[in-house]
A and B are shown apart, each in its own frame.
Chain A
Amino acid sequence: MQVRSQVSMVFHLDKCIGCHTCSIACKNIWTDRKGAEYMWWNNVETKPGTGFPTKWEDQEKYKGGFELAENGKLNIKSTSKTKIVPNIFHNPHMPTMDDYYEPWTYDYQNLFNAPEGSVQPTARPISMIDGKDIDIQAGPNWDDDLSGSPIYAENDANLEGLTERQRHELSAIERLVFFYFPRICNHCLNPCCVASCPSGALYKRGEDGIVLIDQKRCRAWRSCVAACPYKKTYFNWFTGKSEKCILCFPRLETGQAPACFHSCVGRIRYLGVLLYDADRLEEVAKLPDEELVEGHRSMILDPFDPQVIAEARKNGISEAVLEAAQNSPVYKFVKVWKIALPPHIEYRTLPMLFYVPPMSPVQASKPEDTIKHNSDNLFHDIDDSRVPMKFLANLFGAGHEGGVRYALAKQKAVRWHRRAETVGDVDRETADRILREANCSREEADAIYKLTTLCKFEDRFVIPPMHREQAIEMMKDPYEHKTEVGFGFVSGPARGL
């Protein structure tokens, strides 16, 4: 057993209101710079929808992530040692600017400086790449709330395997449904970006598992851009270096939650430590699709298990981190309650950001003039949800519905239980039966309810002290480092060596 700690995340999709506050917080702090205009380290997608960059989940085109070869090896889809030589001058799997979008601003000065005329002056859009007038074709959330057209929604890669009727229902008038899917870097256990980098510029931080790009080592190969199946590494065309979400590590190191977590209006985001067994990494990443979710979960270790604690201490994990792991909300959602699931685990990068799948209204049909719901139940049968189970399974279960059904059933049971507790208009026996069916006790339901609805800052974010002094100790005397921090010249990333 090789115990390591990872700062992991849970996004509770049932709570997301799609306000993009997280994206704006991130943009303002990190990517409001030349060359980074088009980057959205955090973005919110409407599902069904094609997301950002357009149709990023279509790995037939983008070639992201790993694939299991017939000889049992785990290969990077986009590159390999032999492929890198013939492709040395051109990476053939790079998204184009149009698949992200051409960033733009507006000519606000014209509002003040325009000569007097018969019409109101306007602020025309200007490209932030070449400074010329731009005819806006796409944006980072172009299909937000479906944007009045099903063009993008109909091309969601997760619709694969849905029946024609299910597809039609998704976008039919008065039955239309969508939910939000906020995304940041998953800080994977088996990061494909790190594996693909020819310069060795990407690394996973030992103490907290944050995946970072060394701006001094990056040589603009852009292998990580092609390799990341979530398309969460971006190339900065101005500095000539790739960049990605850093999980606001400077904030984490000072005990604050990352900006997108901190600013989240719906309080959907949870952050905490998970302990995992690094020895099982390769074995789990090679599991067949249907066993991946369970395998991934089994890698996560019980922070109360004395053997795990002993092994963790042996690996230099501090008491404070162990304590944080025991209080981790993420551990509860992922391992104890099993209602948070990794996104697209079939890419085999073992993401450490988990999603609680969203509930959705019941399916309905309109045989006559009035809409008739398929179920009269207040908290209906989850198999009749308007978002088809298969769709959620494609997103969170590598195409297998079991895990998603379990998570939704438990959420439904919690609602029944709380309705019986607080309102009392449903009878206790039915509520208990539904709890039993969902493999959930009353206590567990209360705990889920509490962490979902009444969660305060310290419940959502259990941030361990990062002990940077211990990490620095490996390279430098921490006291010396402390006295020197802030002195000298900070050099920004620049092209060249």
Chain B
Amino acid sequence: MKFALHVNSCSLVRGWGKASFRIAATLVAMALPAVAMGQESARYFRANCMTCHTIGGGRLTGPDLKDVTKRKDKEWLIKFIQNPSAMIDSGDPYAAKLLEEARGVKMPVVAGMNAARAADMIALIEAESKLPESQFQGAKFSTKPFTDKDRATGRAIFVGSQKLKNGGTACNSCHSMYDLPAFGGGRLGPDLTLVYERLKGRKALSAWLISPATETMQPVFKDHPLEVEEINSLVAYFEEAAGHTEANASVTRIAFLLSGLVLATAIIFLFDVLWKGRFRAVRRPLVEGIRRAIHRGPQTAGSASVAAEADG
């Protein structure tokens, strides 16, 4: 097949020079992956970085990345991007400064990150920084003040009584909140009472919710993103919650333990009732019953009186 095609094409392009054909083919071969790679990097940046960063859109949870390569050398950046916690823990002064600026929110390890990818990201940021208007400036959210209705809807979404439009999981599956009862919220993710403060307010929190980037949340919400109105309601709810203190986790834990004990006891009793006709023992109760009758005395013992005589 390949051979036939080759012969065929040779006969068709007979007028062309062999060299020019080769050059054209090489150009196409080089250009295609470059474009594809650019698109891939942009997609990756959008999915994983934009929750905390903008390029020229100002600070969210993380810093604005415009001209980041001018602030710090590439080698350091590539190392940091791959494992931010390790860098912070190593006592690097610049990393510590970043952590302080982010109010203690550590940059997570991004899923699928490696050295090559980090280099791609840096290249992308460099290229985008040169543009006057980057495509990664960040989403525009409304700045209207929240209403009570927003807050109520936000709570409804959080506890799952109002379903998320794109089929995402309700927040309380993994997170708890100050106003939820003991088993109202899950304990996989952190308590979200103070998340509004932690992520530095409305803009950053909204941006974060567009595509949650932690290793746990990303797979869950990747195919079920939140709608802009849903994010608005949730943020309204979080803003109100920030005025309260977090739910007491130890109370929940004790309640969980106690209810576990109660339930286990109940199940044991249920089994005892269900199998009440089971075989227990024959000989021991028989002998002990008669022994007790003997100890009570011959008047009440009835038939056991003979045994009492035998016993002396």
B303 touches which of A58, A149, A152, A154 (Cβ 8 Å): A154
Residue A138 lies at the interface, judged by CB distance under 8 Å to chain B: yes
C-alpha spacing A154/B278, complex, angstroms: 24
Query: How close is A253's CB to chain B, nearest CB, in angstroms?
Result: 37
CB-defined contacts of B283 to chain A, threshold 8 Å: 50, 53-55, 98-99, 138
Residue A171 lies at the interface, judged by CB distance under 8 Å to chain B: yes
Q: A113-149 toward B: CB 8 Å interface, digit per residue (1/0)?
A: 0000000000000000000000001100000000011
Residue B287 lies at the interface, judged by CB distance under 8 Å to chain A: yes
* A154, closest chain B residue (CB): B303
Residue A63 lies at the interface, judged by CB distance under 8 Å to chain B: yes
Q: How many A-B residue pairs have CB under 8 A?
A: 55
Does A151 lie within 8 Å of B307, measured CB to CB? yes
Query: How close is A162's CB to chain B, nearest CB, in angstroms?
Result: 13
Selecting from A5-13, A87-95, A275-283, A311-319, the interface stretch reads A87-95
C-alpha spacing A346/B38, complex, angstroms: 88
CB-defined contacts of B279 to chain A, threshold 8 Å: 61-63, 92-96, 226
CB-defined contacts of B290 to chain A, threshold 8 Å: 151
Does B310 lie within 8 Å of A148, measured CB to CB? yes
Query: How close is B282's CB to chain A, nearest CB, in angstroms?
Result: 5
Does A149 lie within 8 Å of B307, measured CB to CB? yes
Does A99 lie within 8 Å of B310, measured CB to CB? no
C-alpha spacing A50/B285, complex, angstroms: 14
Does B310 lie within 8 Å of A96, measured CB to CB? no
| Contact A92 to B275, CB < 8 A, known contacts A148-B310, A150-B307 | yes
CB-defined contacts of A90 to chain B, threshold 8 Å: 275
Residue A256 lies at the interface, judged by CB distance under 8 Å to chain B: no
* B280, closest chain A residue (CB): A96
Residue A215 lies at the interface, judged by CB distance under 8 Å to chain B: no
Residue A385 lies at the interface, judged by CB distance under 8 Å to chain B: no
Residue A452 lies at the interface, judged by CB distance under 8 Å to chain B: no
* B311, closest chain A residue (CB): A149
Residue A155 lies at the interface, judged by CB distance under 8 Å to chain B: yes
Query: How close is A394's CB to chain B, nearest CB, in angstroms?
Result: 18
C-alpha spacing A63/B277, complex, angstroms: 10
Interface residues of A in 54-84 (CB under 8 A from B): 54-55, 58, 61-63
C-alpha spacing A62/B287, complex, angstroms: 18
Query: How close is B192's CB to chain A, nearest CB, in angstroms?
Result: 42
Interface residues of B in 109-148 (CB under 8 A from A): none
CB-defined contacts of A138 to chain B, threshold 8 Å: 283
CB-defined contacts of B310 to chain A, threshold 8 Å: 148-150
* A62, closest chain B residue (CB): B279
* B306, closest chain A residue (CB): A150
Query: How close is A51's CB to chain B, nearest CB, in angstroms?
Result: 11
* A155, closest chain B residue (CB): B286
Residue B7 lies at the interface, judged by CB distance under 8 Å to chain A: no
| Contact A93 to B278, CB < 8 A, known contacts A54-B286, A148-B310, A149-B307 | yes
Query: How close is A155's CB to chain B, nearest CB, in angstroms?
Result: 6
CB-defined contacts of B5 to chain A, threshold 8 Å: none
CB-defined contacts of A93 to chain B, threshold 8 Å: 278-279
* A172, closest chain B residue (CB): B306
C-alpha spacing A95/B278, complex, angstroms: 10
CB-defined contacts of B287 to chain A, threshold 8 Å: 151
A55 touches which of B278, B286, B307 (Cβ 8 Å): B286
Q: B273-312 toward A: CB 8 Å interface, digit per residue (1/0)?
A: 0110111111110110010000000000001001100110
Point out which of B274, B280, B282, B311 has the most chain A C-beta atoms below 10 A from its C-beta: B282
C-alpha spacing A88/B284, complex, angstroms: 27
C-alpha spacing A90/B279, complex, angstroms: 11
Q: A328-348 toward B: CB 8 Å interface, digit per residue (1/0)?
A: 000000000000000000000
Does B284 lie within 8 Å of A98, measured CB to CB? yes
CB-defined contacts of B306 to chain A, threshold 8 Å: 150, 171
C-alpha spacing A50/B283, complex, angstroms: 9
Query: How close is A233's CB to chain B, nearest CB, in angstroms?
Result: 15
Query: How close is A63's CB to chain B, nearest CB, in angstroms?
Result: 7
Query: How close is A145's CB to chain B, nearest CB, in angstroms?
Result: 14
B277 touches which of A54, A92, A226 (Cβ 8 Å): A92
Does A53 lie within 8 Å of B282, measured CB to CB? yes
C-alpha spacing A95/B311, complex, angstroms: 29
Q: B244-274 toward A: CB 8 Å interface, digit per residue (1/0)?
A: 0000000000000000000000000000001
C-alpha spacing A226/B306, complex, angstroms: 34
Query: How close is A46's CB to chain B, nearest CB, in angstroms?
Result: 15
Does A92 lie within 8 Å of B278, measured CB to CB? yes
CB-defined contacts of B278 to chain A, threshold 8 Å: 92-93
CB-defined contacts of B274 to chain A, threshold 8 Å: 86
Query: How close is B60's CB to chain A, nearest CB, in angstroms?
Result: 56
CB-defined contacts of B307 to chain A, threshold 8 Å: 149-151
C-alpha spacing A137/B310, complex, angstroms: 18
C-alpha spacing A54/B289, complex, angstroms: 15
| Contact A96 to B281, CB < 8 A, known contacts A149-B307, A171-B306 | yes
| Contact A98 to B281, CB < 8 A, known contacts A148-B310, A151-B307 | yes
CB-defined contacts of A55 to chain B, threshold 8 Å: 282-283, 286
C-alpha spacing A219/B159, complex, angstroms: 50
CB-defined contacts of A58 to chain B, threshold 8 Å: 282
C-alpha spacing A96/B278, complex, angstroms: 12
C-alpha spacing A88/B159, complex, angstroms: 40
CB-defined contacts of A226 to chain B, threshold 8 Å: 279
* A142, closest chain B residue (CB): B283
C-alpha spacing A93/B287, complex, angstroms: 20
Could you pull out 15 A-B pairs where Cβ atoms are within 8 angstroms? A55-B283, A61-B282, A62-B279, A93-B278, A94-B279, A95-B282, A98-B283, A99-B283, A138-B283, A150-B310, A151-B286, A151-B290, A167-B303, A171-B306, A226-B279
Q: Which 8 A-B pairs have CB atoms at the shortest separation, nearest pair first?
A: A92-B278, A54-B283, A93-B279, A55-B282, A54-B282, A99-B282, A151-B290, A99-B283
List 11 additional A-B contacts (Cβ < 8 Å) besides A55-B283, A90-B275: A50-B283, A53-B283, A94-B279, A96-B280, A98-B281, A99-B281, A99-B282, A99-B283, A137-B284, A138-B283, A167-B303
